[in-house]
Structure 1
Amino acid sequence: MAEDLVAISGLSLTLRMWPTARLLKLYRVTHRWQWPILIGLPFMALALSYAVYILQRHYVELKTKDRALQESEIKFRSLVEHSLAGVYLIQDGLFRYVNPRFCEFFGYNSPEEIIDRKGPLDLTRSSDWPVVEENPGRRQEGEVESVNYVLKAVKANGEVFDIEVYGAKTLFKGRPAVIGMLLDIAEKKRLEEQLRQSQKLESIGLLAGGIAHDFNNILMAITGYASLLNMKLKDGALRNHVDQILKASDRAANLTHGLLAFSRRQLLQPQPVYFGKIIRDFEKILRRVIPENIEFVIDLKDKRAVMVDQGQIEQVIINLATNARDAMSEGGKLIIETFEVAFDDAYLERHSWVNKGGGFVCLSISDTGDGMAPDVKEHIFEPFFTTKGVGKGTGLGLSTVYGIIKQHNGFIHVYSEKGKGTAFKVYLPVTGSKPVDISHVSEFPISGGTETILLAEDEDNVRETIKEALEEYGYTVFVARDGEEAMTLLDEKSCEFDLMILDVVMPKEGGKEVYEKARGLGFRGEVIFISGYTINTIQNFILEEGINVLTKPFRPVTLVRKVREVLDSSEKER
């Protein structure tokens, strides 16, 4: 209470000392008629104080907004200045602003070399001028809000490159203008071209594989009947004619094998093996095909195994080596190298299709020959594409290489420069399996037997030639036109069959299904699969160890030899 009284007393003293109090006293003595004005003075002072307060607050708000505007300008200027895209502003046909990235794209040192000096036409190839002249005008006049197009741009040094342009209308100094950004799409175009090339090769591969499969069945009939005829002919002249038919059939078979390799439909029987060992074992053959005027160098540094079909990899090596030889008609140097490769994260990120587990072994075959122009290099893996003269090549050598490597889950890179040479680098994934020694065994002698065989083949001519050849050598043969007929025979006589010969692809049920159901019925004999090609759904099954495969077309005697080999091997195991 005492504190409140002190406070009130102080307030009273203040009021008495305030000018208004003195003015009121004066008013009472001399100016009684001016009292309303004097009473209003405190309210005027209060209003003035409030006005000052409002002005101060407004000033603070303006300063805050100005600071935010400056920060926003700095932020967006930083975004533009450090953008990965080229940013520009055009007005009256000239660039009024460009960012550093824009200058970098076009090979200029600073924006000052472009701003107010150059326009879009100065930085565009003449063939694209109509596009450039049309679009900025349409945007600036408000006909369209924004545009997007691709054109050929020209750098300061005259180099032409591809850019993608995005633009929209805006205002600059109160007048219409065009603002936009552009991207260097060289990398994008390169990736798109790679994708198109890959898709084209895949499409060609599907077509080639289908043709080769059908053609193989036709060749199988020709080869089969010619072989049977040859076995029965006594006349030397007639036998010679038949031999010529068989030789022509063999050449045609090699052609279809090349198509199947390109389409990745070859039947493979891979084993873990060292790349270098394959080359060492194959070196004598290679040296026979390389002339003396070509220096031949082998440098092998691989220490880890790869999972490959040795015969197919030998085909890759011989195809690439003979290609290199043909490119050095005046002599030169051929180098075959092997070494191990581990790709870094940046490479794997750019090439997502590369196997990221483990490492790779690289087979490099390089020459100092003619080299290739880019337009030739673009087509080298296409079937029947060749730069050799008529009669000097089928055009299947490199397409075969491409198919074999892809089927082995590898990839191939080509480096070539016209007049300087070419290098083919084949990459195959390493395997953790222990290498095996793959040696070429001599052919099993031709002999017959008395065993009972089930033959399932949907092509009539092929089925008849195989049946006749087997019966010629003493075997008892039951035939089926499809998988369903084969199962009927197995239900009736499964215990009687010593061997089954099954076509991989047949109507109703394929060879795989027949084999699996036969095992379920108690069949414990051997099986030989025959096919023009395999398909993904059965490929892994066929590659199991101990599974026997013959690829069409083959001569009947080849099958007879294989039958005897398989049956005798089975007897030894028992």
Structure 2
Amino acid sequence: MVTKGEKFVNVKSISNSDEKGEIDCTMISKQIINAEKQREKMAALGQLAGGIAHDFNNQLMSIIGNATLIQKTDDINKIKEYADRIIHISQSTANLTKKILLFSKNESSVNEPIDLKGVLDNTYTMVSSIFDKSINVKYNYNASNKMIVGNETQIDNLLINLLINSRDAVGTGGIITIGTEDVEVINEKVLSHGEIIKKGEYIKIVVQDNGAGMKEETFDKMFEPYFSTKNKSKGTGLGLSVVFGTVKSHSGFINVISKLYNGTIIEIYLPVHKPKNDLIKIHANQTQIKGNLIMLVDDDINVLDIEAELLEDLGYEVKKFDNSLKAIEFYEKEYEKINFVVLDLLMPIMGGKELHEKLKKINKEVIPIFITGYSGQAECEEIINSGYTIVEKPFTFDELSTKIAKIYK
């Protein structure tokens, strides 16, 4: 005879067994799903790595080839031509690196107020000159607003990626339209890929083509970093994922309208820049410009030497250091003679931001220019918001000259 207590225990035991079975099934299901996701992720990374390796190796081959040609000629005009090619290809390689970082991380880039109309004007001029003349590219800037907070290079790359996709979609005789308009979002709404656009004032960029349009599968996957309908020999398939990443890093939104055989419309919403009067401004224009002596600090000796020569070509006398502590010692003795300082942000022992704070204790009027090889650093945004200048590596002679000129405006 079974007692009540024994019956209760048996029932409880059976109940635990059922619950355990359910838990085990749930855990197994999750493990299977996670394993499948990991497999897909690894396959994607493999495909992505192959495309990146293809692009990098082609660019390195071109750099090595042109450097070799420089070694083999005494013709000064040829040397200049080969050097120009190396600079152009190196900038392209640097942009590829920035694209990889942009979609692989959700960190903000170095953003500052930029003239969106100026960027669009330049992009239109460029594509008009390089696209097949049978393709009709139309452009109208109808937005009354012009300024956004952003990264000019990234916005330019975003536009070029969209226009190249449209060019490939329309083929010979196609029509591509680029336009802008002012948009005020009063009520939040859901966009094409599930995002909800927030209330606010935006400049809407519209890129429209009369190409083949997209299948539903292509439409759903278009922003995935490893998805591409193009042959691998034509690139990594980073284009639209970079577009999406750029829009997100600029606090914007993207909407797509496309049907097979009915063309594609891509709408980019970027927040209008509203200047704040309380931003700290660089005080270089309030300070009497001193002599030509500047202090340069970068821990990479090879890069330090190149940077010093570029600055010397601009007419400055450069005192260079690969050690922050030694730089502080020199600055303490000679700060009254130093015009401004150029500081690398990421250095061992003491980075550029901390070094700048130390220099301010010696001279509160110190004028800094920060240089960085990685604009995803969180402190970059803080530095920009404080009114200081950042130059992203790799930079050209003209880019450096332009940045330095801005601190005296």
Query: TM-score range with shorter-chain normalisation?
Result: 0.5 to 0.7
Partner of 2:405: 565
SS in 2 for 1:360: strand
Query: Is residue 365 from structure 1 mapped to residue 207 from structure 2 by the alignment?
Result: yes
How big is the alpha-carbon RMSD for the aligned residues of Structure 1 and Structure 2?
A: 4.6
CA contact (8 A) 1:500 1:527 kept: yes
Partner of 2:264: 422
Query: Is residue 492 from structure 1 mapped to residue 327 from structure 2 by the alignment?
Result: no
Query: What code does the residue aligned with 1:368 have?
Result: N
Aligned mates of 1:322, 1:285 — CA distance in 2:
12
Partner of 1:520: 361
Residue from 387, 408, 420 that aligns with 2:250: 408
Partner of 2:26: none
How far did residue 502 of structure 1 move?
Answer: 0.9
SS in 1 for 2:296: strand
CA contact (8 A) 1:259 1:383 kept: no
Partner of 2:177: 335
Aligned mates of 1:245, 1:387 — CA distance in 2:
30
How far did residue 503 of structure 1 move?
Answer: 1.0
CA contact (8 A) 1:260 1:266 kept: no
Query: What code does the residue aligned with 2:163 have?
Result: A
Partner of 2:14: none
Query: What code does the residue aligned with 1:338 have?
Result: T
Residue from 346, 351, 354 that aligns with 1:505: 346
Query: What code does the residue aligned with 1:397 have?
Result: G
How far did residue 505 of structure 1 move?
Answer: 1.7
Seen in structure 2, the aligned counterparts of structure 1 residues 450 and 336 have a Cα distance that, compared at 3 Å, is same
Partner of 2:112: 269
SS in 2 for 1:501: strand
Aligned mates of 2:93, 2:188 — CA distance in 1:
45
Q: State TM-score, norm by structure 2.
A: 0.66
**Bigger Rg, structure 1 or 2:** 1
- Aligned pairs for 1:53-92 (under 5 A) are none
Write out per-residue CA displacement over residues 298-337 of structure 1, whole angstroms, 9 at most, x where no aligned residue: 4655344552345543332232122101111143332334
Residue from 363, 378, 397 that aligns with 2:239: 397
Partner of 2:370: 529
Seen in structure 2, the aligned counterparts of structure 1 residues 238 and 259 have a Cα distance that, compared at 3 Å, is same
Q: Which 5+ residue runs of structure 2 have no aligned equivalent?
A: 1-16, 24-36, 277-289
Write out per-residue CA displacement over residues 24-50 of structure 1, whole angstroms, 9 at most, x where no aligned residue: xxxxxxxxxxxxxxxxxxxxxxxxxxx
Seen in structure 2, the aligned counterparts of structure 1 residues 355 and 281 have a Cα distance that, compared at 3 Å, is same
Partner of 1:307: 148
Query: What code does the residue aligned with 1:317 have?
Result: L
SS in 1 for 2:170: coil
How far did residue 280 of structure 1 move?
Answer: 5.4
Write out per-residue CA displacement over residues 278-314 of structure 1, whole angstroms, 9 at most, x where no aligned residue: 5456544444345454454546553445523455433
SS in 1 for 2:166: helix
Q: State TM-score, norm by structure 1.
A: 0.49
CA contact (8 A) 2:253 2:269 kept: yes
SS in 2 for 1:371: coil
Aligned mates of 2:85, 2:127 — CA distance in 1:
28
Q: Which of 1 and 2 has higher RCO (CA within 8 Å, sep 6+)?
A: 2
CA contact (8 A) 2:213 2:264 kept: yes
Partner of 1:465: 306
Write out per-residue CA displacement over residues 342-371 of structure 1, whole angstroms, 9 at most, x where no aligned residue: 1525659x9787444x23332221222122
Q: Name the % identity.
A: 31
Write out per-residue CA displacement over residues 397-438 of structure 1, whole angstroms, 9 at most, x where no aligned residue: 32332232112111223333333322222122234449xxxx
Seen in structure 2, the aligned counterparts of structure 1 residues 363 and 474 have a Cα distance that, compared at 3 Å, is closer
Aligned mates of 1:248, 1:301 — CA distance in 2:
35
Partner of 2:32: none
CA contact (8 A) 1:452 1:475 kept: yes
Write out per-residue CA displacement over residues 229-269 of structure 1, whole angstroms, 9 at most, x where no aligned residue: x8xx9653666655554444233223224334445554222
- Aligned pairs for 1:124-163 (under 5 A) are 144=18
Aligned mates of 2:343, 2:121 — CA distance in 1:
37
SS in 2 for 1:359: strand
Q: How many residues align?
A: 343
- Aligned pairs for 1:277-292 (under 5 A) are 279=120, 282-292=123-133
How far did residue 461 of structure 1 move?
Answer: 1.5
CA contact (8 A) 1:456 1:503 kept: yes
Q: Which 5+ residue runs of structure 1 have no aligned equivalent?
A: 1-142, 150-195, 435-448
- Aligned pairs for 1:165-180 (under 5 A) are none
- Aligned pairs for 1:181-220 (under 5 A) are none
Partner of 1:325: 167
How far did residue 480 of structure 1 move?
Answer: 2.8
Write out per-residue CA displacement over residues 188-210 of structure 1, whole angstroms, 9 at most, x where no aligned residue: xxxxxxxx9xxx8xx98xx99xx
Query: What code does the residue aligned with 1:253 have?
Result: A
Seen in structure 2, the aligned counterparts of structure 1 residues 147 and 331 have a Cα distance that, compared at 3 Å, is farther
Aligned mates of 2:117, 2:291 — CA distance in 1:
44
CA contact (8 A) 1:296 1:334 kept: yes
SS in 2 for 1:372: coil
Aligned mates of 1:506, 1:289 — CA distance in 2:
41
Aligned mates of 2:321, 2:89 — CA distance in 1:
30
Aligned mates of 1:332, 1:421 — CA distance in 2:
10
